[in-house]
Amino acid sequence: MTLPFKYFSSIVLLFFFTLSQAQTREFSGIVKADGNVEGIHIINKTSYRYATTDKSGGFIIQAKLSDSLYFSSIQYTPKIVVITPNIVKDSFIEVRLEDSVTELDEVTVGKILTGDLNSDIINSDAERPLDFYDVGIPGYTGIRKTQIESKLYEADAGKMVYLGFPYAMLNLNKFLNKITGRTKKLKQAVKIEKERNILTHIKEVVGPELFKIENLSEDLVPQFYYFCADDPNFQQRCANRSDVQILQFLQEKLKEFKANNLSEN
């Protein structure tokens, strides 16, 4: 049973309307406050875009529908603004920030030494370096993604969009990247990059240690490294492994490599 043409047309129009709303584009805006409005940080927490305000509080940032923008400054209370359909329609964002007031419950003049080492270190004059928490900027302390890994994350991310009829939900960003083959290409690029990084570490660190205890002609060493990289379990045996574990893998492969060379000769 086929859908009547008018319903099919409505679905198609709705699909392309939703797609246009989900696309990333530039939004201009202005931040208003009672004090200085220059240098306020605006971070798109959804797509990790970044901008700062000029002297008049103006800014331009890339975003799309439903993205969350985080406004942060030392002298103002942080604020999150979600990109709504009205903001998308106007392509303009106006934000009012309030002064940040820090209340001190108690002030102690001088230093109190308790005999507890941890407590006394905290109360000492030792200063720690400033970090992003001190200036009100959200930060990331884990292992940072490479440029290729970030592109893959973006291609495979996104929010589900309701298409207008029961149980019809679609992640447009993920869907389009998959059908165009972009996600597949990025996954392959990430794999190649990881293999290249592992191989570099082997050549510079683990390999020289191996050849202190094992013998192999220098002209065969490059060939041996690529022989190791061709192993189907190369990443499993070497990625995020200790140098000792990698060395064990190399010793196993070296035996195979020498055996293959002997049989060929």
For 28-39, what is the mean pLDDT?
91
The CATH number that domain 5-100 falls under is 2.60.40.4130
| Domain ranges within the chain, ordered by starting residue | 5-100, 146-265
**Quick check: 124 pLDDT over 60?**
no
For residue 251, list its beta bridge partners: none
**Which of the listed ranges 44-53, 102-111, 230-239 does the model predict with the highest average pLDDT?**
230-239
Q: What is the pLDDT of residue 16?
A: 47
Q: What is the pTM of this model?
A: 0.38
For 53-80, what is the mean pLDDT?
89
**Quick check: 198 pLDDT over 80?**
yes
d(CA 39, CA 168): 43
Please report which confidence band the pLDDT of residue 32 belongs to, taking 50, 70 and 90 as the band edges: very high
**Quick check: 15 pLDDT over 60?**
no
C-alpha distance from residue 253 to each of 100, 191, 208 (Å): 62, 21, 15
Which position has the higher pLDDT, 155 or 249? 249
